[in-house]
Structure 1
């Protein structure tokens, strides 16, 4: 399993490292790269996954409830790590703990650990986390953010912040097409798939660019706390939430494994778009990704007790 984890982690670190190297040598417009990913590539990934993944209604409801409880607990843990910190850093720590990498790390590791059946459940969790990320993160970064002379944000204003990102529109479109049993033309879907395939490399490059522009990341106490909350608190919360929702066996194990993943790099892109503390998110994503090898290996070693 350690070898399998390293096979997943090494490409992640390689692409991010190349981004850091380029950013350290040349001036890079990171905001433009982030917007290309948020407004073009991520929406294509959302639509492609929704139209090509088989899901069942019963699994969505039960697993969705457990996932929602896990996210709520993780956001609370992240908020606690940011107590007495500046507002921007506190919000970024909250997002760093509450948004994890269930895609490019969670999916292949689930396949290695559980085979194709577990991979199907992991894909369903990825869909939920992808939707949740683009709904929850804007709220975390914008709720009650205003000047002293401004009134509190209205419900309509909060809704606009949530739907600013096209990924949310593509989720709605994908769900509608699935409900109506409609399939876009093959040529259009090939274009969507090409954009979707470019998402992961661009996301990882964005992490490297952020880290490279500031030199070696400063790993202060709050970043270490947020990393511990993500890698240790996450799977414990997933276990508690899954048991509370009646999950047992392999489905419960897949949820726990997903919740043990490091901070999602997409959280960095959203922080940049909404004016959050992108440096804190980048440092937490970096540290949690590096330290996730032993922690995920420990979780995988313990999972047979849940499926036995």
Structure 2
């Protein structure tokens, strides 16, 4: 088996295992799904954002270009999904927009970037991850609360602690003041629980939902996420002048499946959680094929 394929499988199998445990627990036990989701949304994800921002290292100009390319890729997928999704009910359309756009740049994107490019690739992938973490909790509430006007969207965004955690980490880092060791260790310890719990939340949602029926919105959102996403990232990166490893890192990240956080947001804001859970599952399984194809194509990128 080729080394990169083995690395991809070694990343995907642990993810599937944790989600499967959540699925089995939901089938056998009566679990409060909302409590599990809110622990991730309001406690663990802010800790992960704070911890990661304090430790990330990358040149400011390159980070700014990567961030812009990331956001423009999001603009392409969310606009396309919104236009095509007009035929579906409002909550389904909003959930398609979110699930086709918010990708898993963290627990899949980071290790795969490390396997493919080494430490320098991981540092660039961290920029994409940080943009995604902050952007997810701005885009998600904005999509689901768009009917409430800009004031409602703004209130929803400001009510999420991950934004304040990220801003606090940036200020702390710029100030040059060291974080007390006890605080640093505590936040890091809390951040380490984020990824397992969000994956358990996915499994719990799927287990409680029973048999999953594939629907046209799921298929469309999955196609946008796995095919349109990396193609858009490639074109936008070329236009912005990204070449070599920065371009490859963004394209690889944009090929990741839908993030579990998209499901957490759908549950929190009354979206079509069934559709989002289906997209997460379909794209996670489909990524075994599409991400392998992207990795094989990376050496041929300019």
The answer as to 2:81 corresponding to 1:86 is: no
The answer as to 2:291 corresponding to 1:296 is: yes
- Work out the CA distance in 1 between the residues paired with 2:263 and 2:86: 20
The answer as to 2:67 corresponding to 1:64 is: yes
Once the two structures are TM-superposed, the CA of residue 75 in structure 1 deviates from its matched residue by 0.9
Which of 252, 275, 279 is the aligned partner of 2:274? 279
Corresponding residue for 1:262? 257
Corresponding residue for 1:212? 207
What TM-score comes out, normalization by structure 1 length?
0.94
The answer as to 2:160 corresponding to 1:165 is: yes
Gaps of 5+ in 1: 146-152
- Work out the CA distance in 2 between the residues paired with 1:14 and 1:81: 34
Which sits farther off after the overlay, 246-255 or 177-186?
177-186
Alignment of 1:1-308 (within 5 A): 1-145=4-148, 153=149, 155-307=150-302
Gaps of 5+ in 2: none
Corresponding residue for 1:150? none
- Work out the CA distance in 2 between the residues paired with 1:218 and 1:194: 38
SS in 1 for 2:253: helix
Deviations 1:145-169 (A, max 9, x none): 4xxxxxxx2x443221111110011
Which sits farther off after the overlay, 215-224 or 20-29?
215-224
- Work out the CA distance in 2 between the residues paired with 1:164 and 1:10: 35
- Work out the CA distance in 1 between the residues paired with 2:221 and 2:265: 18
Instruction: Supply the RMSD in Å over aligned alpha carbons.
Output: 1.1
For the 8 Å contact 1:250–1:306, the answer to whether it is kept is no
For the 8 Å contact 1:81–1:226, the answer to whether it is kept is no
- Work out the CA distance in 1 between the residues paired with 2:211 and 2:8: 24
- Work out the CA distance in 1 between the residues paired with 2:183 and 2:152: 33
Once the two structures are TM-superposed, the CA of residue 80 in structure 1 deviates from its matched residue by 3.8
Deviations 1:161-205 (A, max 9, x none): 111110011011011111111222110111111110000000000
SS in 2 for 1:121: helix
- Work out the CA distance in 2 between the residues paired with 1:21 and 1:78: 32
- Work out the CA distance in 2 between the residues paired with 1:66 and 1:134: 18
Number of aligned positions between the proteins: 299
What TM-score comes out, normalization by structure 2 length?
0.96
Once the two structures are TM-superposed, the CA of residue 243 in structure 1 deviates from its matched residue by 0.8
For the 8 Å contact 2:145–2:152, the answer to whether it is kept is no
SS in 2 for 1:111: helix
- Work out the CA distance in 1 between the residues paired with 2:88 and 2:151: 29
